[in-house]
Amino acid sequence: MTRLISLSLAAALLFAAFASATAKAEQGPVCAPRDTIVEKLTTQFKETRRSYGLQGAAAVFEIYASEKGTWTMIMTQTTGVTCVLAAGDAWSEEKAALLAEGDPA
């Protein structure tokens, strides 16, 4: 009986964690002044800018990555507001070099 209660409690906690993560994802991207976002990326995550690109005159997209492989994609609008669009692990600049050489991988 104790095991059944433990399993039920674990399932309830897992569901609550999933529901919380889903609710946060539905709120949209995290946005703040660019300096605030970049400071957090460099100090907390030890990420540095690895690449960037322009979307006409509307925005700048940047990829920040760490030596551990974490990465973050941000977009800065002309207003100076920066939003985190995506983040993940296993960033590899070797893959980018292979693709630049024409590797179809």
Kindly report, residue by residue over 1-43, the tens digit of the pLDDT.
444 344 344 444 444 444 444 444 456 789 999 999 999 999 9
* Higher per-residue pLDDT: 87 or 20: 87
- For the chain, what percent of residues have pLDDT higher than 70? 64
Whether pTM exceeds 0.75: no
Instruction: Look up residue 22 and give its two tokens.
Output: 């889903």
Sign of CA pseudo-dihedral 26, 59, 82, 64:
positive
Query: How does strand 30-33 pair with strand 81-88?
Result: antiparallel
pLDDT at 15: 44
Average pLDDT, the chain: 77
Asked if residue 63 has pLDDT above 60, the reply is yes
Task: List, in sequence order, every beta strand (DSSP E) within the chain.
Answer: 30-33, 48-55, 59-65, 71-77, 81-88
Q: Minimum mean pLDDT among 39-43, 66-70, 95-99: which range?
A: 95-99
